Amino acid sequence: MSKQVLAFQDVSFSYQDQQQNRSIPVLHSFSTQVYDREFITIIGASGSGKSTLFRLIAGLEEPDSGSILINGKKYKSRLGQTGYMPQKDLLMPWRTIEENAALPLELRGWRKKDIEEKVRPLLEEFGLSGVEDHFPHELSGGMRQRVSFLRTVLSGSNILLLDEPFSALDAITKLSMQEWLLDQWDKRKATIIFITHDVQEALLLSDRILIFAEKPVCSLQEVAVPLARPRRLKDLDDPAVLELKDHLLAQLRGKVGT
Ligand SMILES: Nc1ncnc2c1ncn2[C@@H]1O[C@H](COP(=O)(O)OP(=O)(O)OP(=O)(O)O)[C@@H](O)[C@H]1O
Ligand SMILES: [Mg+2]
């Protein structure tokens, strides 16, 4: 078994709703582990706590109790320890594509020349050469997602958290982005945790699927995807996979509300 890169140990977390003076429990005594170079997908109904899990991993929220370990370590602050691509693409409209992508390096104090040397070849590899000096609104949805992903990769972390990166894309663009992402995952030797509502996408991409099917989330249902790699879309017609798809849809249906 490869090494653990992320662990939740008995983590509980609630949001405090100040206006209504109540607490909203999201995780209760929750434990899980993710291993090096896995591709994990999280599925679950809207409001089940998927993005909150990422906010906890990324250090934007702190658990009420329990521990979160990254690469085996318990950090005082987890900020900057993982590459986090939030649910909305947060490209800055006033910065060019290159400046958006380079933000993590700039924040770490890299010099302009070193940034250019690092970022230029990656822009090319990510299919963004020719638009370095454009602004985000001039790009297609798929291209914007590639810029966001490049920025996430430039965080330098081995753990990439992608929150519904392809949900706004049309079916064809989505498929080519999924293939592209698998290629990147392989090349960068990264561990990816990926949130989606799309069961087919989860089956196509991941090694394991974690299901958020209760609220607050105490334990996860988990399934391993029984498909070798590389995968093609038609592999999803395999009877064992179709059965798994039905099982996942049944798990998701109507279990969680906000
Ligand atoms: N900043 C916040 N303050 C208070 N409550 C919050 C906050 N963010 C989320 N919540 C609540 O926490 C719960 C989990 O929200 P979260 O955003 O993690 O869900 P999600 O599974 O990512 O949903 P979606 O699939 O719609 O993105 C919901 O009940 C939500 O209303
Ligand atoms: Mg979410």
Task: Give residue 250 CA to ligand 1 midpoint distance, Å.
Answer: 22
* Residues 73, 168 within the same domain: yes
The residue from 156, 175, 200 where one domain ends is: 156
Supply the range of the domain harboring residue 150. 90-156
Domain membership of residue 257 (yes or no) is no
CA distance 136 to 108: 23
Do residue 70 and residue 179 come from a single domain? yes
Q: Residue 256: its pLDDT value, please? A: 45
pLDDT reported for residue 113:
96
Which ligand is located closest to the Cα atom of residue 48? 1
Number of helical (H) and strand (E) elements in the chain, helices listed first: 8, 9
Co-location of 24 and 134 in the same domain: no
Instruction: Note the ligand closest to the C-alpha atom of 258.
Output: 1
Q: What is the pLDDT of residue 254?
A: 59
Whether 237 maps to a domain, the answer reads yes
Q: Which of 121, 156, 191 is the last residue of a domain?
A: 156
Question: Which ligand is located closest to the Cα atom of residue 198?
Answer: 1
Report if residue 152 sits inside a domain. yes
> Which residues' Cβ are closer than 6 Å to ligand 1?
15, 17, 24, 26, 44, 46-52, 87, 258
Ligand 1 atom 18, closest CA: 49
Span from the CA of 47 to the centroid of ligand 1 (angstroms): 5
Q: Is 108 a domain residue?
A: yes
Distance 87 CA to ligand 2 centre (A): 6
Residues 235 and 247 in one domain: yes
Taking 3-state DSSP, the helix, strand and coil percentages for the chain, each rounded to the nearest 5, stand at: 35, 25, 40
Q: Determine the pLDDT at residue 21.
A: 85
Residues 116 and 206 in one domain: no
High-pLDDT (> 70) share of the chain, %: 98
Residue 222 belongs to some domain of the structure: yes
Name the 3-class secondary structure at 234: helix
Low-confidence residues of the chain: pLDDT under 70? 1, 254-258
CA–centroid distance, 253 to ligand 1, in Å, is 18
* Whether residues 9 and 71 fall in one domain: yes
Do 164 and 152 belong together in one domain? no
Domain assignment of residue 215, yes or no: yes
**What residues contact residue 74 under an 8 Å CB cut-off, 6+ apart?**
67, 68
Same domain flag for 137 and 161: no
> Are 46 and 167 within one domain?
yes
Q: Which of 126, 156, 186 is the last residue of a domain?
A: 156
215: domain CATH number is: 3.40.50.300
Tell me, yes or no, whether 47 and 174 share the same domain.
yes
Q: Compute the distance between CA of residue 113 and CA of residue 134 in angstroms, rounded to an integer.
A: 20
| 196 within domain boundaries | yes
Same domain, 34 and 110: no
pLDDT, position 170? 87
**Considering its fold, how many domains does the chain have in total?**
2
- Please answer whether residues 63 and 12 qualify as being in contact, where contact means their C-beta atoms are separated by less than 8 angstroms: yes
Which residue, by CA, sits nearest to atom 3 of ligand 1?
15
Residues 171 and 242 in one domain: yes
Give Rg (Cα) of the chain.
19
Per-residue pLDDT, 252: 83
Decide if 103 is inside a domain.
Answer: yes
